[in-house]
Structure 1
Amino acid sequence: MDGMPASIPHRLTTLVARGPEPLVFDLAAGDRCRIVDPEGRQPGLLFASQALGLTELGEGEEAELAAAARAALGARGVDVLKLTGFRLFAADAEPGAETAFEAAADAVVALVPAGGAMTPDEQTPPTELKVEIATRAPATGLAPAPLAEPKLDLRIKAATAEAYRVKAGDYIQIIDVDGKQCSDFLAFDAAALERGKEFGLDPTVTRTLMGTANPGPGLHSKYFDARMNPLVEIVRDTVGRHDAFLLACSSKYYEDMGYPGHDNCTDNFNRALAPYGIEKRAGWPAINFFYNTFVSPDDSIGMDEPWSRPGDYVLLRALTDLVCASSSCADDIDVANAWEPTDIHVRVYDASETFSRGIAHRMTPDAEPRLTRESGFHPRTSVLTRKFVEYRGFWLADCYSDEGPIAEYWACRERAAIMDLSPLRKFEVIGPDAEELMQLAVTRNMKKLAVGQVVYTAMCYDHGGMIDDGTVFRLGQQNFRWICGEDYCGVHLRELAAKHGLKAWVKTATDQLHNVGVQGPRSREILAEIVVTPAHQPSLNELKWFRFTVGRIAGIPVIVSRTGYTGELGYEVFCHPDQAPAVWDAIMAAGKPHGLTPLGLKALDMVRIEAGLAFSGYEFCDQTDPFEAGIGFAVPKEKTDPYVGAEALKRRRETPSRKLVGLDISGAEHVGHGDCVHVGRAQIGVITSATRSPILGKTIALARLDVTYAELGTAVEIGKLDGQQKRIPAVVVAFPHYDPTKSRVRAEATPAEEAKAPAASPDAVSSMEPRGAETRA
């Protein structure tokens, strides 16, 4: 963005266009616009009311996308008859390709990434286009566009506070205009105030009822008063880091710091609330949005710069008529507001508006935030439960209302269960150097992977710490699909390709491929009734462990893989999100005679711990290698081609310091992730995952221990309280705890035949198949 006069202040705005919906934005005369194709191979259409010096569209070209863009601009009052369309990027554009232009006059512009719905056996997902606008508008003080038509549009200047009324059902948006600025929030029951009673937000009641320091979007979203009546609920939160109900800053704080007479939020609130007859206080207990406080292990309370960035916000909904007050915190003597108080903006929207619930998810720290989204299966799962939790940017069911996690668990172990796994990240790796890129990026040998085969593997950093684990599907000679849990994998793969000069594209397909797991001893019978495959593809009954087939369910294109995360015979079914409800309906109808039951995250955690399956952030992180995560089988010695982390992993294999083990735990007391493991006074490890196993009738755990104490039969203790006052005896055992030979998940016979057959030897497994576990991150 060179060329702007240094004397004229300007700011950079970043937007993201995600197809097929048009992104509409404004340009002022003199604005410089840069459009980037981060992943490559993503054409786009741009419509504007002026010539931009770009390649114009031909007559009738991309008619459907053009119609959508014209309609979006028409809704903004633009004369669509005067629009000119421009084509951006070639079909084989390199990652990071860009085009730039300067607006000669004010304009409203629409950008649409080209491409439609992708079938599961294709690798052509429409991906994002990034827009950067350098404008001569002031660099600070500009609030983002409203979410809807505001009823109230209130600017709270730095170091001040304002009071305002909100009707029941209306929405309150509190915006950090320039970033890193705290805003205290108070709310009172308006009807009670009219009766001379003050009932405002109560931190103790809220924490007790919600079981969290700060409620967030989802099931536990409400803030209560002392009567246990809810006053507001959180609908959206783009930050997720706020103060846990400390006092708003007061005159005493500044006096104690040596600044008598300093502006403060408490005095500002007292003045703003005086017209409502609210009694003054020396310090107001408030929700302090964007204030970054924390409790250290020694129980001290600390603070740091806020996490909020320009335009970040919290959206609340009033649950009764309210008198509210918001501040822009006056603190300029420490890091609370990054040393420089700035403005806060408040908007109120009518109760008739509809806003999705969500928490902002960022792929990388500099990425644009994306609110929690619903999977393609959500229209079906949402009628079965309200117990949704935010998981990696998606809403997933924690459990289902009619059964609960224990019943769901038994359904998976004895019959069959269906679970939404759509948050798994999917990346299409294509191009003449696709195999070389994957060979470089993961620990398994991609040269041994056949078309139609799947392999579980690890992806590591140079030091041997894990980025993620996941599965690689080989769809063609130079066509791979990497399925994992971490968004950053796509960035990492693209950086590797650029660093090594490889001609390969890594395209994000997460929003084009949603999937359910169908797991349990009857899963084959259920899917065999409805999965239709062409003659050249394996039928469902022919599908071997860690293979996939292409077919249809109820006429809908699907890919079905024999993979899972439960330790049972099972499959995963991939389809386009638009067709997910119909796929769910077909599977549920076929599964009804077999007792097929929806399964949520709580039950899934139980079965995966029993089966010894690794979970990101628990069994592994960037400080643990695959051996310490219990998946050393995914690092074959025979792979001689260089790959990221190879030298470090060779050293770590030869000189291990920690090992993942199983533990059998005495009694039924709760044991959880992070509990310390001791021999005598010394801590020698940590619990990574634990559960009470229904089928084994005991508490079991996975733990990472010093190799000195990792031998089978070693007696250890799990420390509770401070690790020293209370101990729970345990013993080191082999894992998986359940079905250690993997005879159930590897079953090649029908369920009736399985019951008569001897367990398969662990050595009778292909070198491309997992010997200890199969997993999902």
Structure 2
Amino acid sequence: MTEPTAIVSPRRPRVLTPGLTALDPGVERYVVRGGGVHAVALEAGDAVELVDLHGGQSCELVLFAPDGSDALEALGLRAAGPAGGIQAILAGEGEDVQRVRAGLARRGLDFGRVGSARLFGPETAPGEEVGLRASEAGYLVVAAPGAPMSPWEQSPPTDLLLFIRRARPPQPGEVRLPEPLAEPRLDLHIAPASVEPYVVRAGEYIQIIDIQGRQCSDFVAFQERALERGLVRGLDNLTTRTLLGVAYPRPGLLSKFFDADMNPLVEVVQDTVGRHDSFNLACTARYYEDQGYFGHVNCSDNFSRQLAAYGIGAQKGWPAINLFFNTNVDANSNIWFDEPWSRPGDYVLLRALTDLVCASSACPCDIDPANGWVLTDIQVRVYPEKNLFKRAVAYRMTPDAPAELTKETGFHPRTAALTRDFVEYRGYWLPATFARNGPIDEYWACRERCVAIDLSPLRKFEVLGPDAETLLQRTLTRDVRKLGEGQVVYAAMCYEHGGMIDDGTLFRHGPNAFRWIGGDDYGGIWLQQQAKDLGLDAHVKPATGQIHNLSVQGPCSREILREIVWTPPGRAALDELGWFRFTIGRIGGFQGIPVVVSRTGYTGELGYEIFCHPNDAPAVWDAVMRAGEPFGILPMGLNALDMVRIEAGLAFAGHEFDSTTDPFEAGIGFVVARKDDDWIGKEALARRKANPRARLVGLALSSNELAAKGDPVFLGRAQVGQVTSAVRSPLLKQSLALARVDVAHAGIGTALEVGKLDGLQKRLPATVVRFPFYDPEKIRVRA
């Protein structure tokens, strides 16, 4: 008898969506930044969980009752004293400070009526938790206080995690709004599949919020003065692209948007998503009809109905900024789209450049992925002109991490006075060029005299504890046991398969005290995870917010710094500082600014890096520039820095290496010199070294044309490699490139070609040459 076939119930295939919250319904997560503050409203029965993420961080908290009195007892806590730490933080600046101050003012709350409770402390272990439950409603303020850290200390204030588990999770259709950025003049709710018009005055800010995530919102704006004259002058995407030099449509937002008469209407101030559509129409009836959905509600018809009251005639399709709409253009100019990138609470902040009539939609598209298949709400808030919101885009350490807005470095007050050409780099604004000189002058200053470069976004992590050396010996490609106090070593971190996580420099401050300086936040996360998995007594604390650095590079750098760097007895003086060594000292003598000075750099020249607290950064900049003035010192931006680092053959993440590339393929195989112990990636790297697939080579182009990252490298019709970085060298007077090439064709003198256009129609002849192109023996950097 045949056994009956089992019936398997159909199950939805599992899809990973780290872009949306991975928390249970009713659970909210907030990050209380080290040295920062956060506030959230509680309801009776809500559970509160606080986590000391990195250990050793104190926590101060206050709970206001609705009438402004002290309600700490509702959390089962008693006041230990006044809220001095919180008040000190709120007296400063920052996005979190501004938001909390606005929330307190809106509720009329006064710290004079309450005390604060203290949790955690210096002995708290990483990941330690405290659970509380609110017996009544209140307004919770949580701070992670900490004093400014000297660069030779290793005790930065670190982040706390705050989880709220709501006693009453939001019900389907219920909207819970994020706290306003400031006190709004207008707070407008837009229900799903609808449009709302509103008027905005010049200088006011418009915040458009995706409340629940993955919901598109079309935005239109019209010049009010033109409407009064009977003229309809709204956003014109073709004019905007032309004026901003973007002839080809692309996803994302431009900095400003214009009407057809070339008048600027709005500018983008903040964007926490980075993925929008600024070249298509708002959705139209025709789109749905072509899909077979006749009579489907659409944004264009909704706009026409709502804008009629302002004398604006109907249109079948409205030019709009399609916020949160995830579109792209493929190689054949076909437009495609997928689910939005926006997360719950993501927003775009615009500033009106003239008086405007605006309208925003909550897009009704439910027949494709445009809104993640579920229609939700949009919130629009208009803030008065008196507010000051800094320009920023969102940066996320990992896909499911909370968004962090772009920050300014401690040196920004000085660099911003010299240029407006800033680019976002690793969550910070850095100058690309300086207005008075430009990248070529900056380049020659570095090669012939001296330059000052703001490299503060480099990630700093303090690695501390009895097992710190063991952790680093396990995770880096260098032999950390050979590193003495006051020494620095360049190393790589690799995965088990040999692909690189990051490169960086390791400073040894003491027997159990190290500082890792790399390019990526994930390096610190990975070190923390390895310490936990190995059961090591080692603590990894992020310190980037407490240590900013100025790179002083060039032949005159030693003479300049000799005049201003004081070092105590027992520490190496500047003239005694060897290559890859550091010393502790002060700028300006015994009572001066505390600094750490290392003989390191990223230019191929003699040079140093000065590490200081961000609060001291302007004074450090001033001292360096004053001392350097007789030598012709110049500030240097990222464009010129890229030129000198390529000439020097120095690797850059995302160019010469990524997680698919090992150190040998990245041109830094010298960092893998260990044979002792068992370290992560050891076996894989041994296999890769014995059986190499590709090698990083230098290419000298016989044309003056410039290669570019990603250009294919050919031998005949066969592609044998790819350009990773390229430069036209002012000093060597030719176009050069770094390229990853198959080992069979990587020998010095090999004739290759760099493909342009489609790779076949145009080729740039090139020859494999020795690199570094500039000072290959490193005589200058060792001088």
* CA shift in 2, pair 1:127/1:332, >3 Å: same
Partners of 2:146 and 2:500 lie apart in 1 by 34
Cα pair 2:75 2:135 within 8 Å, conserved: no
Deviation at 1:579, TM superposition (A): 0.6
Partners of 1:56 and 1:69 lie apart in 2 by 22
Show the counterpart of 1:17. 32
1:613 lines up with 2:635 in the alignment? no
Deviation at 1:188, TM superposition (A): 1.3
Deviates more, 1:203-212 or 1:559-568: 203-212
Partners of 1:608 and 1:127 lie apart in 2 by 33
Partners of 2:125 and 2:681 lie apart in 1 by 27
Deviation at 1:94, TM superposition (A): 1.9
Cα pair 1:609 1:691 within 8 Å, conserved: yes
Cα pair 2:251 2:327 within 8 Å, conserved: no
Deviates more, 1:416-425 or 1:39-48: 39-48
Q: Name the amino acid aligned to 2:160.
A: L
Which residues of 2 match residues 240-259 of structure 1 at below 5 A? 240-259=274-293
Query: SS at 2:474's partner residue?
Result: helix
Which residues of 2 match residues 261-280 of structure 1 at below 5 A? 261-280=295-314
Partners of 1:728 and 1:156 lie apart in 2 by 55
Partners of 1:505 and 1:401 lie apart in 2 by 43
Residue deviations 1:641-682, cap 9 Å, x none? Answer: 111111111111110001100000122213111111111111
Deviation at 1:196, TM superposition (A): 1.9
Q: Name the amino acid aligned to 2:27.
A: L
Show the counterpart of 1:550. 584
Show the counterpart of 2:151. 120
1:424 lines up with 2:458 in the alignment? yes
Show the counterpart of 2:141. 110
Show the counterpart of 1:752. none
Cα pair 1:427 1:507 within 8 Å, conserved: yes
Partners of 2:203 and 2:84 lie apart in 1 by 41
Unmatched tracts of structure 1, length 5 or more: 1-8, 748-777
Query: SS at 1:541's partner residue?
Result: helix
Show the counterpart of 1:716. 752
Show the counterpart of 1:326. 360
Partners of 1:59 and 1:332 lie apart in 2 by 54
Deviation at 1:590, TM superposition (A): 0.5
Cα pair 2:212 2:343 within 8 Å, conserved: yes
| TM-score (norm: length of structure 2) | 0.91
Partners of 2:236 and 2:426 lie apart in 1 by 30
Partners of 1:31 and 1:101 lie apart in 2 by 9
Select the residue among 3, 26, 29 that pairs with 2:41. Answer: 26
Q: Name the amino acid aligned to 1:719.
A: G
Which residues of 2 match residues 591-602 of structure 1 at below 5 A? 591-602=628-639
Show the counterpart of 2:221. 187
Deviates more, 1:49-58 or 1:457-466: 49-58
Deviation at 1:114, TM superposition (A): 3.1
Show the counterpart of 1:138. 170
| TM-score (norm: length of structure 1) | 0.92
* CA shift in 2, pair 1:693/1:176, >3 Å: same
Partners of 2:349 and 2:652 lie apart in 1 by 32
Which residues of 2 match residues 447-596 of structure 1 at below 5 A? 447-554=481-588, 555-596=592-633
Show the counterpart of 2:740. 704
1:622 lines up with 2:659 in the alignment? yes
* CA shift in 2, pair 1:319/1:155, >3 Å: same
Show the counterpart of 2:20. none
Cα pair 2:583 2:597 within 8 Å, conserved: yes
Partners of 2:411 and 2:448 lie apart in 1 by 24
Which residues of 2 match residues 406-445 of structure 1 at below 5 A? 406-445=440-479
1:671 lines up with 2:707 in the alignment? yes
Deviation at 1:68, TM superposition (A): 5.4
Partners of 1:406 and 1:678 lie apart in 2 by 31
Select the residue among 384, 387, 391 that pairs with 1:353. Answer: 387
Show the counterpart of 1:159. 193
Select the residue among 32, 37, 45 that pairs with 2:52. Answer: 37
Deviation at 1:90, TM superposition (A): 3.3
Query: SS at 2:185's partner residue?
Result: strand
Show the counterpart of 1:734. 770
Residue deviations 1:42-91, cap 9 Å, x none? Answer: 1211222222566756458x955566579969755345455343221231
Partners of 1:202 and 1:742 lie apart in 2 by 54
Cα pair 2:251 2:326 within 8 Å, conserved: no
Show the counterpart of 2:260. 226
Partners of 2:379 and 2:273 lie apart in 1 by 16
Residue deviations 1:471-509, cap 9 Å, x none? Answer: 000000010100011011111111100100001110000
* CA shift in 2, pair 1:468/1:588, >3 Å: same
Deviation at 1:328, TM superposition (A): 0.8
Residue deviations 1:22-52, cap 9 Å, x none? Answer: 3222211111111111111212112222225
Partners of 1:605 and 1:611 lie apart in 2 by 10
* CA shift in 2, pair 1:672/1:68, >3 Å: closer
Q: Name the amino acid aligned to 2:688.
A: R
Alpha-carbon RMSD: 1.9
Deviation at 1:248, TM superposition (A): 1.4
Partners of 1:92 and 1:390 lie apart in 2 by 37
Partners of 2:214 and 2:225 lie apart in 1 by 34
Cα pair 2:252 2:278 within 8 Å, conserved: no
* CA shift in 2, pair 1:700/1:450, >3 Å: same
Partners of 1:54 and 1:91 lie apart in 2 by 23
* CA shift in 2, pair 1:63/1:165, >3 Å: closer
Q: Name the amino acid aligned to 2:170.
A: P
1:96 lines up with 2:158 in the alignment? no
1:50 lines up with 2:79 in the alignment? no
Which residues of 2 match residues 377-392 of structure 1 at below 5 A? 377-392=411-426
Q: Name the amino acid aligned to 2:771.
A: F
1:746 lines up with 2:777 in the alignment? no
Residue deviations 1:666-715, cap 9 Å, x none? Answer: 22213111111111111111110001100000100000011111011111
Cα pair 1:677 1:718 within 8 Å, conserved: yes
Deviates more, 1:515-524 or 1:194-203: 194-203
Show the counterpart of 1:6. none
Partners of 2:297 and 2:754 lie apart in 1 by 51
Partners of 2:337 and 2:104 lie apart in 1 by 48
Select the residue among 210, 215, 219 that pairs with 2:244. Answer: 210
Cα pair 2:485 2:509 within 8 Å, conserved: yes
Show the counterpart of 1:763. none
Deviation at 1:113, TM superposition (A): 1.2
Q: Name the amino acid aligned to 1:20.
A: G
Unmatched tracts of structure 2, length 5 or more: 1-23, 64-70, 92-99
Moved over 6 A (4+): 69-74, 214-217
Partners of 1:18 and 1:524 lie apart in 2 by 37
Partners of 2:386 and 2:256 lie apart in 1 by 20
Partners of 1:211 and 1:649 lie apart in 2 by 45
Select the residue among 657, 662, 683 that pairs with 2:719. Answer: 683
Q: Percent identity, aligned pairs only?
A: 58
Deviates more, 1:124-133 or 1:239-248: 239-248
* CA shift in 2, pair 1:324/1:495, >3 Å: same
Partners of 2:617 and 2:110 lie apart in 1 by 38
Cα pair 1:55 1:87 within 8 Å, conserved: no
Residue deviations 1:352-398, cap 9 Å, x none? Answer: 11111100111111211111010000111110111111111101101
